[in-house]
Chains A and B, each alone.
Chain A
Amino acid sequence: MRLLDADSRHTIRFQLNGKAVEGVAAPRMLATDFLREALGATGTHAGCEHGVCGACTIRLDGKAVRACLLYAVQLEGRNVQTVEGLAGHDEELSAMQTAFRKHHALQCGFCTPGILMSLSQLLEEEPGADEARIRDCLSGHICRCTGYHGIVAAALEVFEAHRRSGGESGRERTDV
């Protein structure tokens, strides 16, 4: 890793949702603040800033991580996916997003982006996940509105459809 000067700002370049982006940040700037303020990717939400609530979850080279526990400079050279990348501006919603709407899996929607990111990784890596495993994955997120019922129902439906279709429907959206 680069040696950084605490008093200087550093240029950071990485792939955000498939596009090359660039910005300048002090070494202590959090990835959440950088994504939101420098790049305008406000879909990533800061809920607790100590790594528990999961609202800020993004995918870093495919792995779901807490953006609030990362510095912006740690994104350098990486492949970053945020909620904005699950369905492009002119694309239809992903299967999971559509199922979330159908099952009323969100109310205020503040925790939703992080949950979608965690579930997108789970769907890719463990398409056979059952309800217990899905709940286990969701336990890294706090939703105060829904009681999780719609979230679990939506996920179960998408995982089941994914299995039935031989694993194609989920992957196409997350290949960024």
Chain B
Amino acid sequence: MSETWVGKSLERVEDESLLRGLGRYADDLAVPAGTLHAAFIRSPVAHGIIRSIKTDNLPDDAVVVTGEDMLQLSRPFISGVKVDAPQYALAVDRVRYIGEPVALVLAANRYLAEDAADLIDVEYEQIPAVVDPEAAASGNAPKLHDGTDSNVLHEREFSYGDPGTAFATAAHVIETKIAYPRNSCTPIEGLNVLAHYLPGDDAYDVTANFQGPYTLHTVMARSLNVPGNRLRLKTPPDSGGSYGVKQAVFTYVVALGIASKIAGRPVKWVEDRLEHLSAATSSTNRVTTLKSAFGNHGKLLALDYDQLEDCGAYLKAPEPATLYRMHGNMTGAYAVEHLKIRNRVVVTNKTPTGLMRGFGGPQIYFPLERLMDLAAAQLGLDPIEIRRRNLVPSSAMPYRTASGALYDSGDYTGSLDRAAKEGGLQALVEKRKEARAAGRLYGIGCAAVVEPSISNMGYITTLLTPQQRERAGPKNGALATATVSFDPSGAITVNASSVPQGQGHRTVLAQVVADQLGVAPKSVVVTSDHDTTKDPWSISSGNYSSRFAGAVAGAAHLAAGRIRDRLARIAAADLNVTPDEVEFANGKVFAKSNPDNALPIVRPAAKAHWSPLSTPEDAGDGLRETEFWNMPELTEPDSEDRINSSGAHGFIFDFCGVEIDPETYEVRIDKYVTMHDAGTLLNPMLANGQIRGGFAHGLGAALLEKLDYGPDGSFITGTFADYLPPTACEIPHLTILHDCSPSPFTPLGAKGLGEGNCMSTPVCIANAVADALGKDIATLPLTRSNIATLMLEDEPAGRSQPQTPASPKATGDGHAMTGQGSTLVPATPEDLWAIMLDESKLAAVIPGCHSVKRTRDNAFSAEVTMGIGPVKGRFKVHMALSDLIEPKSLTLTGGATGPLGSSQGSGYVTLTPEADGTRVDYTYEARISGKVASVGGRMMDGAARTLINQFFARLSRQAGGQPPAQSPWTRLLEWLGLKS
């Protein structure tokens, strides 16, 4: 019997190259001769009108592409919701979030392109921004899109069963309100595009580290105004991670495509980290009010979701998919007959959202699994027991949920019980008892989650009414594509439209195909790059919705099976047996009844190429088989809005123990156990790798990560020192357990499993922290400062009461600064006064000043170069002096704008004569936005102090005296030769 490979932990074929530094990532590939490099000019304001884009300072031959070009040469991106809120690849007339691309400039290399970008002068008229989704949805918020009635771009209500009666008659109604924050999986490789417009064909040849879904190929081609066959989209062999995020490269494919068309040259762009964090994409943040009806004995009867989804400034395709991906499984792992949902989508002045590992899962499971804990507390039940009583029973499988999902297989109760037993729950409970007796803050949390995979192409159409769907025609299915071929030497090549981003698809596909053909996996070559012109693919191709194991690997299995059947027919003639007697093993074909009657597999395979006239007619010609596999279960939404949104459904049960340090407010994960039932595991080592990766993302979301904005829309987490992915020191040991209920619906019985912990871990940890503190948790992340806020606030009125999100101010005002100081300047108040009102002298006093102009009485404009933290740039400064009491005091108001951002502020200065000169006292407040706020937040106060000290040192010199008294710090720096 031949050795089989599926189910074994084979080492990866990908690793040999990657470990040697010989990967072929997008930025490693050759570029055509004459390729130009692009740098983007991005909005430094959250909301504003573009008044002008001046390029006078650039050489005449410089290529600058703006929104005007997009208006002329491209079409707005299509979106799932038909509203008049168009988005182009570059902003047209108006900017709606910090980091929005406004223009791009091309040069011979990136350094020169960034130089050129700094010389482009964009004038914005700032208008009020709105960041908070509830505020944006209210009537008096600034409106983002003129063509819409309000910022709420979509609203629908759904009702399944009879939720009205269920709530009216329920013994208990329990409610929670959750504000789920924004985060991102931030692959270490950024987005990357090489676009080449071919005028002779009116076609675009593009290489981008795109990951799918290939629905977006249609979106790009339409925006570029070409049929799909004139957008050749190629993906590189290796990708530096994605987790959904690299879907976001599609708008840049259009921007660079149009730029190439204008420049007549190939153009390339590599995203930098600030561009990525501020503008690539984000998960949605969502405000959810979830109401539940419980009967006696803890039976969950009905759920009522009110979801307000914040998609950022534009509804960028495939949004609002985050809101609908989970539509079939809104009842989670529980058997609930009655369900009500109200969905609203709101736009705010933040980065448009998109695919993110867990896609829509954390946003529903956080409220649902918090609610189960709140209900347990209110009903006097153990949190695990209340879940146990409501889990979908295994006898009900396959189980149709209230909103239409078909849960394929699983023994949820059995998995829960096994996890509790083998994971050591009882010991953890004992530990909590001991810890609490010793006065320590110890808590246990759990979460039960159904993890959907293989998205139905039709789920997004649930947002349409049945009548609208009727008119538009049905959308359904989830085609997966794989091709297996034998070349004339008898060697096997496999290609699939799976676009891997590090998961190890090449290894697994080799295992799957090797099993069908009885060869060693290492003899099978699997290609991982994809080319829409040459490789088979379909609308649902790509690497998303955890579709690889269930759908794509299954398609490869079927394609290999078809080619095996054909080879059997060819070999049968040579072996003198019937085709059904031909076996495949150890690289040979042989007669089942007489294994010595054998041929190397390459013989019949080569024969198909070399001697096609000598092969049986029913074996066909050419040895290449492409399987387009579909799931009949994935029908379109029915007339009552029921939708089987995903093809397979795994089960996860997590529990953990956490301890909170009462002094540092750190949450320490003491133990974490995760139980998965994802059906057949194709390669257990790789499966566990996916679980660990998803867990790390879930843990980051729980404790550290938030894409954060100031109230004015300033983006303030633009570096990896501000946006904090977990490091090796923050990830605890993870105990992984597996159950196996093969899916009856996928060819290999496999289900997706890489996203589940993004759904279960954030709420599992939050439940444990809530248990440790005896407080409700209504938002994330549970950073030390947010834990401190929770611990220091007054006791909440009751655990089931909705609570405002913890401490939005902890980081929300990071870009605002105030300060005061006093310094002694060796000059008279009159001399200082004269300098401060004389533009010719001010130029020498303001640090980094190039010129000062008087614009009117006591108002000046200046050109100044300032450096803050890692960035340095030229700013236009305008300031006005008022409340002048000569020579005693004045108020200074003004601001600075430049490519790095803008500031607005005011200061009050008093001059008091003293024996040795004048004592200058000052107070100031300033708000900063743009790039400076994104990357320099932590350094802002220090930078401001340095600038002020420099100002007074220069003021003293200008007044003819010595610099003011120095701080010991300044003297030390001078002594070290670091400061003059």
CB of A108 within 8 A of CB of B240, answer yes
Who on chain B is nearest to A98 by CB?
Answer: B19
CB of B502 within 8 A of CB of A147, answer no
Shortest C-beta distance, A110 to chain B (Å), equals 3
CB of B504 within 8 A of CB of A148, answer no
CB of A144 within 8 A of CB of B273, answer no
Bound CA–CA A69/B239 (angstroms): 24
CB of A93 within 8 A of CB of B188, answer no
CB of B728 within 8 A of CB of A43, answer no
Cross-interface CB contact of B243 among A113, A144, A152, cutoff 8 Å:
A144
Cross-interface CB contact of B725 among A43, A84, A101, A142, cutoff 8 Å:
A142
Shortest C-beta distance, B109 to chain A (Å), equals 8
CB-CB contacts below 8 Å: B3-52 with A: 11-12, 14-16, 18-23, 25, 27-28
CB-CB contacts below 8 Å: A105-127 with B: 106-113, 116
A149-B692 contact in complex given A28-B111, A106-B18, A136-B729, C-beta closer than 8 Å: yes
Who on chain B is nearest to A94 by CB?
Answer: B19
Bound CA–CA A49/B935 (angstroms): 12
Bound CA–CA A19/B719 (angstroms): 35
CB-CB contacts below 8 Å: B226-245 with A: 238-243
Who on chain B is nearest to A144 by CB?
Answer: B241
CB of A112 within 8 A of CB of B719, answer no
CB of B729 within 8 A of CB of A100, answer no
Who on chain B is nearest to A110 by CB?
Answer: B240
CB of A142 within 8 A of CB of B504, answer no
A26 within 8 A of B: yes
Shortest C-beta distance, A163 to chain B (Å), equals 21
A145 within 8 A of B: yes
Bound CA–CA A86/B18 (angstroms): 12
CB of A135 within 8 A of CB of B188, answer no
A11 within 8 A of B: no
Shortest C-beta distance, B210 to chain A (Å), equals 15
A169 within 8 A of B: no
B685 within 8 A of A: yes
CB of B719 within 8 A of CB of A52, answer yes
CB of A146 within 8 A of CB of B696, answer yes
Interface residue SS majority, chain B: loop
A44-B273 contact in complex given A142-B727, A152-B728, C-beta closer than 8 Å: no
A84-B20 contact in complex given A145-B693, A147-B696, C-beta closer than 8 Å: yes
Bound CA–CA A20/B574 (angstroms): 59
CB of A107 within 8 A of CB of B504, answer yes
CB-CB contacts below 8 Å: B676-720 with A: 685-686, 688-689, 692-693, 695-697, 719-720
CB of B19 within 8 A of CB of A100, answer yes
B580 within 8 A of A: no
CB of B14 within 8 A of CB of A109, answer yes
Who on chain B is nearest to A30 by CB?
Answer: B111
CB of A50 within 8 A of CB of B20, answer no
CB of B186 within 8 A of CB of A112, answer no
B203 within 8 A of A: no
A-B contact count (CB 8 A): 170
Q: Mark A76-99, 1 if CB is under 8 A from B, else 0.
A: 000000111011000001000100
Contacts of B111 in A (CB 8 A): 26, 28-29
Who on chain B is nearest to A136 by CB?
Answer: B729
A162 within 8 A of B: no
Contacts of A21 in B (CB 8 A): none
A147-B695 contact in complex given A26-B111, A135-B728, C-beta closer than 8 Å: yes
Who on chain B is nearest to A151 by CB?
Answer: B728
CB of B727 within 8 A of CB of A138, answer yes
Who on chain A is nearest to B700 by CB?
Answer: A144
A45-B240 contact in complex given A104-B685, A146-B693, C-beta closer than 8 Å: yes
Contacts of B188 in A (CB 8 A): 45, 47-48, 53, 55, 108, 110-111, 142-144
CB of A147 within 8 A of CB of B734, answer yes
Contacts of B689 in A (CB 8 A): 104, 107, 145-146, 150
CB of B21 within 8 A of CB of A107, answer no
Shortest C-beta distance, A62 to chain B (Å), equals 18
CB of B720 within 8 A of CB of A50, answer yes
B171 within 8 A of A: no
Bound CA–CA A86/B693 (angstroms): 26
Who on chain A is nearest to B683 by CB?
Answer: A104
CB of B28 within 8 A of CB of A42, answer yes
A41 within 8 A of B: yes
Shortest C-beta distance, B789 to chain A (Å), equals 26
Contacts of B502 in A (CB 8 A): 106-110, 145
Who on chain B is nearest to A100 by CB?
Answer: B19
Shortest C-beta distance, A75 to chain B (Å), equals 17
Bound CA–CA A141/B188 (angstroms): 10
A107-B241 contact in complex given A52-B719, A102-B11, C-beta closer than 8 Å: yes
Bound CA–CA A3/B200 (angstroms): 50
Chain B CB within 10 Å, residue with most, of A82, A86, A108, A139: A108
Cross-interface CB contact of B731 among A82, A108, A149, cutoff 8 Å:
A149
Shortest C-beta distance, A90 to chain B (Å), equals 11
CB of B11 within 8 A of CB of A139, answer no
CB of A83 within 8 A of CB of B240, answer no
CB-CB contacts below 8 Å: B196-231 with A: none
Contacts of A100 in B (CB 8 A): 15, 19
Bound CA–CA A139/B727 (angstroms): 5
CB of B240 within 8 A of CB of A97, answer no
Contacts of B12 in A (CB 8 A): 101, 104
Contacts of B729 in A (CB 8 A): 135-136, 138-139
A49-B187 contact in complex given A83-B20, A93-B16, A147-B731, C-beta closer than 8 Å: no
Q: Give the top 7 A-B pairs by smallest Cβ distance, nearest first.
A: A43-B21, A108-B502, A110-B240, A109-B18, A83-B21, A147-B696, A147-B692
Q: List 9 A-B contacts (CB under 8 A).
A: A48-B188, A50-B719, A50-B720, A93-B19, A108-B238, A108-B242, A146-B689, A148-B728, A148-B731
Taking A33-B110, A104-B685, A148-B727 as known contacts, 13 extra A-B pairs with beta carbons closer than 8 A to each other, sorted by chain A number, are A45-B25, A97-B20, A100-B19, A106-B18, A109-B18, A110-B188, A112-B18, A136-B729, A144-B186, A145-B241, A145-B693, A147-B692, A149-B692
* Chain A positions near chain B (C-beta within 8 angstroms): 26, 28-29, 33, 36, 41-50, 52-53, 55, 82-84, 86-87, 93, 97, 100-102, 104, 106-113, 116, 134-136, 138-152
